[in-house]
A and B are shown apart, each in its own frame.
Chain A
Amino acid sequence: MQQISERKNTTRALHERIIGDLGQEIVSGGLKPGERLPSDSELIERFSASRTAIREAMKVLSTKGLIEARQRAGTRVRPRAEWDLLDTDVLGWHTPDAINDTFLKDLEELRELIEPEAAGLAAMRATDEDIEEMENAFLRMADSAADRPAFAQADLEFHLAILNASHNQLIRKLKGITGTVLGVLFKLQTEVTRPVPKANIDAHRQIFVMIRDGDRRGAERAMHQTIRNGAKTIAMRRKRQRAVAS
Chain B
Amino acid sequence: MPRTALPDTRRSPLAGVHGTIVLAIGEDIVRGAIKPGERLPQEAALIERFRASRTAIREAMKVLTAKGLVRARQRVGTKVMPRAEWDLLDADVLSWHDPDTISDALVGDLVELRQFLEPKAARLAAERATEEDIDAIQAAYEDMALAVAEPAEFYDADIAFHLAVFAGCHNLLIQRLSGIVETVLTLSFRLQRPGLVDLQEAVEAHGRVIDRIRVRDRAGAERAMRAVIGRAKVELRRRRRRITMAGRDAP
Which residues from chain A sit less than 8 Å from chain B, CB to CB?
80-81, 84-86, 103, 105-107, 109-110, 112-114, 117-118, 121, 168-171, 173-174, 181
Known: A168-B113, A171-B109. A106 touches B172 (CB 8 A): yes
Chain A, interface SS category: helix
Size class of B's contact patch?
Answer: 20 to 34
Provide the bound-state CA to CA distance between A81 and B173, in Å. 9
Chain B, interface SS category: helix
Q: Which residues of B contact A117 (CB under 8 A)?
A: 116
B176 touches A86 (CB 8 A): yes
Closest 7 CB pairs of A and B: A86-B176, A170-B113, A168-B109, A173-B89, A110-B173, A106-B171, A106-B173
Shortest A200–chain B CB gap in Å is 24
Provide the bound-state CA to CA distance between A151 and B124, in Å. 32
Q: Looking across the interface, which residue of chain B has its beta carbon closest to that of A114?
A: B116
- The answer, among B109, B120, B121, B174, for a CB contact under 8 Å with A170, is B109
- Interface residue? B56 (CB, 8 A): no
B177 touches A86 (CB 8 A): yes
A106 touches B174 (CB 8 A): yes
A169 touches B112 (CB 8 A): no
Shortest B15–chain A CB gap in Å is 15
- Interface residue? B232 (CB, 8 A): no
Provide the bound-state CA to CA distance between A38 and B138, in Å. 45
B174 touches A113 (CB 8 A): yes
Which has the most chain A C-beta neighbours within 10 Å: B87, B113, B116, B177? B116
Shortest A155–chain B CB gap in Å is 20
Contact with A along B168-209 (1 / 0, CB 8 A): 010111101100000010000000000000000000000000
- Interface residue? B234 (CB, 8 A): no
Q: Which residues of A contact B113 (CB under 8 A)?
A: 168, 170-171
